Amino acid sequence: SFHEYKLNFKKSKEMCLSYIQDAMLQKQWKRAAEFLTFYIESLEKNFSAECTSPSEVIWRIGTEILCHHSHSSMKEFNSFTEHVKTLGVRRYLKVCLEHTFHLLCNGLIDEAYQNLSLAESWRFGEQTVIQRKEMKLIKAYRGLLDYYSWSKQKNILLEHGQDGFEDLSVEQEMHSCFRKAAVNLEEIIKIPGVWDLFVKCYVDLLEFYGDHNEARQVLSEYAYNSKFPANPNAHVYLYQFLKRHGESKKSLISVLKILHDIVPSHELMIDFNIMLQKSKKRKRRRLGLEVIFAVLDYAGWKENVKAWSCLARQVKQIVISEKHLDWIKQEWNSRKDWWPAFHFSRYLAKKNWQENESLSYEKALVAGILLGKDCKYFKYVSHQGCKAQVKRLRVLKKFVNKHNPVYLRISG
Amino acid sequence: MEFPSALFPSYFGAGPPREEGGPAPAAGWGEHGQVLEAGPGRRQAETTFVSRCGGAGESWEPADAAAVPLLPPNAGCWVPAVTPQDILYHGVLRRKLQAGKSEAALDFTKQLRHFFVDHPEDAFGSLGRLLHQNFYLGNSKLRVSVHPEVTTLLPTPSLAAAIPSFCPFSSLQRRARDCTIRMTALREEISRLEARRGCPRKHLVPRLRWFSHLSRDWLFEVPLGLLADCVHEDLLLQWGSLLFDDSPTGGALAWLPPKDVGARMGRLVYPGGQAMNHLYFQDVVLEELPRPRGCPAQFELNGRIRQVAAARVDGEDFVGVRSDYHCGVWRVPGRTGATPTPLQVIRTSVPASCLTVSPHLSGELAVCTQSGAVYLWNVETGLQRLRHDPQTMFFRDHSPWRWSDFTAHPRVLSCADRTGLQCLDTRAPERCQFDLFKVGEEAGCQQGERVVLPMYLGRAYPSQHLVSTQFSVYVLDERLPLVPMLKWAHMMKAPPLFAHLVPGSPGRSHKVLLGTSHTQELLLLQYQGEKRGSRGGSRSACQLAGPLQKLHSIASCLQHLPAQLPHQHHLLQQRLSAPAAGLAAALQEDGPRESLTVFQLSEAGDVIINEEEEEDTGTPAAPQEAECPQEPCASPQPSPAAALRYRRWVTALCKGCGEPPQRTRPPSFSQKRLFTRKELEEPSAPSALHEQARQRLRQAMRDGGRIRHWDSPPPDLPQPLEPAAGPDPLSTRLTAAWCEDWERWWEERTRFNVAQRQRALRERRRRQKRAHGRRSLSASFTSS
């Protein structure tokens, strides 16, 4: 009966698919390709009303096979994709986008651009939400490619400009590229998302044409709009922009303060700490200490010499001036139950000493002040230092011994 | 600790997931995801791009034809797990397959019947004992008599029972007839029913029905309604765990890598024993084919081990072990060969669902229970409850499963349920928290997608986490919560319950192994996050590298095991297709080449290994050439070492476990059924014959001989026709032919034959003569 036939067909289709998957998972691309030729029959007899049609499966599997098959070429890949594009209307834009990505990864930028322009002109009835999103991405990527050709022409012009030679046509073309790029890039970065690449390019365009206000607004919108995810890069871009344009320290600090609040372990926090340490204001120096302590809370910074030297320097300063010991005390209070095991164990002392002497020096200073001269880390390092007759460590030992009462005040 | 200078573009939406219908069958393939500028290429000015997925990775090849057992089979007979056939109503399975979707019908009556037959003592114990004295199944009646006040058991040699019913005194007579059942008839009907077992047109006998109606209230030890409720509840639980069992989440296998960089001996921690309640620490030498060394350190625990987690802090390994109601922690000192020491055990009133060990601070663990509580457990300071919330975090989900893991900050823990992950600061758990992952539009999830296993990827990169759902895996960064750095549909048939991270050395990809329980799938995927761009030296964003690869499952051993008898083969098949229970891996570096040993544990307690080798393909950037030359390998044969392992393993399995003893015993009959009591009665004094028999029996036992000849010697066998002296003619003929004097034999034979024939002829004549004489005699009789 027809029903039975349908059922059998479905079963063999599924079986065929599982064979293909099995072959692909074992990297037997040739075998998978052979099975795929059988699977294509399922296109003709598509009885199912499932949401994933066989055409999508064929597209995905075919692409993957062509990416890894030893005898595939770009030409074959292109013709396969063109065929697939005609198969499914719903997936047209997605396939175009993926095709573009493939071309871009293989360095075929002009073909990719053509492909994007073609996709952009595609119309088919009412667009679904996903299709609208894909269309915007297509436009954005085209804008990106426009930006690259703009910057290429810009470089040509700049080089030639030095020679005192001006080419009007190149300049005109560059401006038209700018317009095309700016329109599309501007559109996508208004939608909530992660658009690092697009924002960077758009800001570069604006900066080149001197529209700093617009650039600044774009960047602060990207960083501070609550509909966007809390992307640390958005804050970094804003900070870099402000720094480039010589903004006041106050605004730089306020940007970094927000970054510190959302990502205390960001690598810019070292710069932030240095900036704050230099400051004359007490409040900022206080914040600096907080920032560097917070950075060293994270496992990723555990063996970072720079961070430890920042902390060591600031702690030393405070101890020498004997003012604001309460700052250290406050920071230490929430850490004293786990920092000794996390940073200052005997095992780590040994390891740091073997691997990185200057790290163990900085850490020993901090340990000596925070935990006193009897702490395991300090004892081990100073002992080893005496044995190896490192002068720096002898000075360190003297310093810690001299300021031992500080430890009592901090811990008390 | 640098954040990538640019991330791959992606949309960010909020709210519940919009995509319906689950992922497409091949959703993980054929996508580049997004692209990103990779810095200038070789030719200046040209920009090159990298894609999020589909980049080139290392190529790994299995070193052997199939997985190979590492350890001898787990001792003790393995009880096969419950299958759908055991608890579903017969016939539903097939229909279900055809109809696609239908509610599972649990075969409740079958379970109850099994209970009555298998545990009669628990089902009817006390009443059975009570009635035993009076139970005589002669031609008697189940008589019920009812008095207004007292119900009595009739002391007649008949079965009597009382049903407390309140019927009027006057109609006692009629009632008594209604309440009387002839037991012999009932028994006959039952045995007839038994004979018709399996017959589709089975009708319930009214008498039987009446009997069960009458006895329902008093016969059962446990009230029937209560018992039925319990059985039904258990059936539902069993069915639920058949559909998806989350208790082994995380896996019960851990690998403690060698202490020194160049060393080859690590330690494997795994459960074993009949009830999987023994914890073993076994030294394993990593060689071409890894092998165990020495005897394992062994601990007996009082519960089935569900999860074994391990982490190394300050050169010491801490091993956390979770069973349903107990969690324990062991310390394995840094010295090689040092014995592990148990440190502490906690008991929970609700089953624990998670135990993870801190990679930052020694002796710290995170524990979750199914009541929704999350604890930070410090061996020195004890337990600290961080959260207690029976409700799920982001939307309502009925699962009581909770998980917790550590993050880049030693004081911040991630807490997960099926709806997502949150991070909370243990110093102020109520105030300081943020959402790390949400099943929703933020991560582009599907409808119905649920978190199955989160894992902290700290060993590869300090701030990254892996979250796997039944459809996809996500890599998340704590510094940019909610937006996955990487998303990829894994296309596995079952949700991955086990994951293992193998961090790659600088410049190499990190490997993640994903494993499922019931389907035994094992996938290897690679990702990169530390490749530095050529310009500026900033980190590039997280990328998936290389095609996905399947590794050999435990069941792949089967085809390479030595040939077995069918029933043994079936047993082996059952054993090897037991659900997986854990996953671990060890990376070996031989100069530029690496090899990966993957350990798998099955629920039967067997530890199986997979050896994977990195292929020599020159640059990893040439996937086209990376294709294996021997591609359509039909069925590669295992190496001799592996074949030896297989043989030993099977021999040990057959010897140690073999078949359950009940089956090998010949069927036995109760002698009580064969003989009457009188026949079985012993005579008061043993007769002389008895004495003699006993003596012979003793003698035979002493000699180890047979007792057959205490019977009279067997009757004489019929004499062979041929003279018994020589062997049969065929053998002599063949012998003669062999000695090349066949002709002589033939002559002799013919001569012998002539003589024989003459003798036979003579005999016949004599008989004829005699018969002739007799016949004539009889003829004379008849004629007269």
Which residues, including other chains, have CB under 8 Å from residue B493's CB and lie 6 or more apart?
B516, B519, B521
Partner-chain contact A98 B32, CB within 8 Å? yes
What does the pLDDT average to over A38-54? 66
Q: How far apart are CA B32 and CA B56, in angstroms?
A: 12
ipTM of the complex: 0.92
**pLDDT exceeds cutoff 90 at B179:** no
Q: What torsion do the CA atoms of A226, A230, A234, A239 make, to the nearest 10 degrees?
A: 90
Interchain contact B218–A (C-beta under 8 A): no
pLDDT (0 to 100) of residue B534: 42
Comparing A321-325, B133-137, B372-376, B691-695, which segment has the lowest mean pLDDT? B133-137
**pTM exceeds 0.95, yes or no:** no
Record: contact B6-A17, CB cut-off 8 A: no
Distance from CA of B336 to the nearest CA of A (A): 17
How far is the C-alpha of B33 from the C-alpha of B528, rounded, in Å? Answer: 15
The answer for residues whose C-beta is within 8 angstroms of residue B517's C-beta and 6 or more apart is B245, B248, B494, B497, B498, B579, B580, B581, B603
CA-based nearest distance A221→chain B, Å: 15
> How many Cβ atoms are within 10 Å of B39's Cβ, its own excluded?
15
Which amino acid, residue B339?
T
Query: Is the Cα dihedral B303, B309, B310, B311 positive or negative?
Result: negative
Q: Is residue A399 assigned to a domain?
A: no
- Give chain A positions within 8 Å (CB) of B443: none
Q: What is the dihedral of CA B188, B189, B192, B193, to 10 degrees?
A: -140
Cα gap B581→B307, rounded to integer Å: 9
Q: Confidence band (pLDDT; 50, 70, 90) for B312?
A: very high
Query: Which residues on A lie below 8 Å from B617 (Cβ)?
Result: none
pLDDT at B601: 93
Both tokens of B644, joined, read 């030896």
pLDDT band, very low/low/confident/very high, at B82 (cuts 50, 70, 90): confident
Res B647 pLDDT > 60: yes
pLDDT level of residue B184 (50, 70, 90 thresholds): confident
Pick the residue from chain A with its C-alpha nearest to B478: A263
The mean pLDDT value for B349-371 works out to: 94
Please give the single-letter amino acid code of residue B117.
V
Q: Residue B138's CB: how many other CB atoms inside 10 A?
A: 9
Residue A150 inside a domain? The answer is yes
Q: Distance of alpha carbon B196 from its chain centroid, rounded?
A: 35
Q: State the DSSP code for B716.
A: P
Q: Read off the tokens for B526.
A: 């690679």
Segment B454-474, tens digit of pLDDT: 999 998 888 999 999 999 999
Q: In terms of residue numbers, what domain contains A147?
A: 128-245
CB pairs under 8 A between A and B: 200
Pull the structure tokens for residue B612.
């994977």
Q: Is residue A4 included in any domain, yes or no?
A: no
d(CA B523, CA B615): 17
pLDDT digits (tens, 9 = 90+) for A200-255: 999 999 999 888 999 999 999 999 999 999 999 999 999 999 999 988 999 999 99
A229 in contact with chain B, both atoms CB, cutoff 8 A: yes
Quick one: pLDDT at residue B97? 52
Higher pLDDT, B421 or B614: B421
Q: Could you tell me the maximum CA-CA distance found in chain A, to the nearest angstrom?
A: 98
Answer yes or no: do A300 and B26 touch at CB < 8 A: no
Task: Measure the CA–CA gap between A307 and A295, rounded to whole angstroms.
Answer: 8
Of all residues in chain A, the one with the smallest CA distance to B428 is A334
Q: Scan residues 20-79 of A and list those with Cβ closer than 8 Å to B.
A: 21-22, 24-31, 50-52, 56-57, 59-64, 67-70, 72
What's phi and psi for A289, nearest 5 deg?
-65, -40
Mind telling me how many Å the CA of B386 is from chain A's nearest CA?
17
Closest to B653 measured CA to CA, from B727, B578, B720, B708: B578
**Fold classified for B53-78+244-615+639-646:** Methylamine Dehydrogenase; Chain H (2.130.10)
pLDDT digits (tens, 9 = 90+) for B552-609: 898 888 888 888 888 888 888 888 888 999 999 998 887 777 888 999 999 888 898 8
- Range A304-333 average pLDDT: 90
Contacts of A69 in chain B (CB under 8 A): 624, 627
Q: Which residues pair with B413 in a beta bridge?
A: B406, B424
Q: What are the distances in angstroms from CA B83 to CA B80, B239, B321?
A: 9, 9, 28
CB contact under 8 A, B480 and A230: yes
Ranges A103-107, A126-130, A338-342, B668-672: which has the least confidence: B668-672
8 Å CB contact between B557 and B67? yes
Please check the confidence at residue B183 and state whether its pLDDT lies above 60. yes
Mutate to test the interface with B, among A144, A298, A301, A344 (most CBs of B within 10 A): A298
Residue linked to tokens 């060394």: B293
**Least confident interval from B71-80, B204-213, B232-241, B707-716:** B707-716
Whether B148 and chain A come into contact, CB under 8 Å, resolves to: no
DSSP single-letter state for residue B342: E
Q: Quick check: B664 pLDDT over 50?
A: no
- d(Cα A79, Cα A83) in Å, to the nearest integer? 6
User: Cβ contacts (< 8 Å) between A263 and chain B: which residues?
Assistant: 3, 479
Residue B94's pLDDT is 55
Contact between A304 and B1 using a beta-carbon 8 Å cutoff: yes
Provide the Cα torsion A9, A12, A17, A18; round to 10°: 150
- List the domain boundaries for chain B: 53-78+244-615+639-646
Q: What six digits make up the tokens of B266?
A: 């690590």
Confidence check: pLDDT of B93 > 60:
no
pLDDT tens-digit series, residues A82-106: 888 887 767 888 889 899 999 988 8
| Token code pair at residue B20 | 């319906």
Per-residue pLDDT tens over the stretch B8-47: 999 998 888 888 777 777 788 878 888 877 764 444 556 7
- pLDDT digits over B240-287, tens only? 888 888 899 999 999 999 887 777 888 999 999 888 899 999 999 988
B100-112 tens-digit pLDDT: 545 667 778 888 8
State the average pLDDT over residues B370-377: 93
Q: What is d(CA B405, CA B407) in angstroms, rounded to the nearest whole number?
A: 7
Residue A197: closest CA among chain B residues belongs to which residue?
A: B6
Q: What is the per-residue DSSP string for B379-394?
A: TTTEEEEEEE-SS-SS
For an interface test with B, the pick among A105, A131, A337 (most B C-beta atoms closer than 10 Å) comes out as A105
More confident residue, B679 or B368: B368
The per-residue pLDDT for B43 is 45
Number of domains in chain A: 1
- Cβ pair B338, B332 in contact under 8 A: yes
Establish if A160 belongs to a structural domain: yes
By the CB < 8 Å criterion, does B622 face chain A? no
CB A230 to CB B481 under 8 A? Answer: yes
The average confidence (pLDDT) of chain A is: 87
Quick check: A148 contacting B, CB < 8 Å? yes
